[in-house]
Structure 1
């Protein structure tokens, strides 16, 4: 049985994708049962917030996902409106990358899209850290 060649390479890529999918499902399962709004829950903390005290563009992402898993879209919008609005695009980009990886071809992100997302994320970080911003995360 040959362990090299295009077939073996494709099998390895499929196994990597299956492993990533299993990790995603395990993480979502853990998140569905563990409330990140509770400060005593075991969740990763944001390194940007730990160092600077500012909410980064992704701060509130775990709370947003928890809220969506439990059917609370208003709370999800309060936790991170930017990620909520961008999530369809981000999911489409992840699916695009997974398909390209499965085929063994690169799928670079178009520069205008990359710069646009980076600029929007920086603008969101600046706006959400303004004093009196009404959409503050439901917990820290």
Structure 2
């Protein structure tokens, strides 16, 4: 049996096979393109706040009633959020906190995350926020406690 008939000799050598060659690295992305998504997200948030600032949620008939409040009479963690956003957009922080303090905290947290996202995008690095399950459970616990306390007589200060 000669060497050319063996299975090892029949298989072509991948290094000697002609092909397209090494894959070139991707072209660098411009800073404007990297910032397009964070800027678009901010534009959407500004448009939403602008709409809520223009259409007063304190006047009945502009927005639907919270289903939980309507059917159970209980305030959910989001009740008062539109009134809070309206007051926040008009610069009335005291009224915003009185309508839904948790929503105001959420506005600040989202603004900080957006700022971090924008800075990292401008530097060409992705935003990776790894939140451990224990933190998600903690956020859920805070929302539950907030909901329960604002529906009790001693927590009426948290009610809108």
Using the size of structure 2 for normalisation, the TM-score is 0.62
Among residues 88, 104, 108, which one is paired with 1:84 in the alignment?
104
Among residues 45, 49, 56, which one is paired with 2:76 in the alignment?
56
Q: Aligned pair 1:38/2:24, yes or no?
A: no
Deviation, 1:126, is 0.8
Aligned position for 1:74: 94
Aligned position for 1:130: 152
Using the size of structure 1 for normalisation, the TM-score is 0.69
Among residues 111, 116, 121, which one is paired with 2:138 in the alignment?
116
Runs of 5+ consecutive residues of structure 1 not aligned to the other structure: none
Closer/same/farther in 2, CA of residues 90 and 49 from structure 1, 3 Å limit: farther
Deviation, 1:79, is 0.7
Deviation, 1:54, is 2.5
Closer/same/farther in 2, CA of residues 128 and 98 from structure 1, 3 Å limit: farther
Q: Which has the higher contact order (CA 8 A, sep 6+)?
A: 1
Closer/same/farther in 2, CA of residues 105 and 92 from structure 1, 3 Å limit: closer
Runs of 5+ consecutive residues of structure 2 not aligned to the other structure: 1-25
Count of residues in correspondence between the two structures: 133
Measured on the aligned residues, the alpha-carbon RMSD in Å equals 3.3
Among residues 85, 91, 94, which one is paired with 1:65 in the alignment?
85
Closer/same/farther in 2, CA of residues 76 and 99 from structure 1, 3 Å limit: same
Closer/same/farther in 2, CA of residues 123 and 9 from structure 1, 3 Å limit: farther
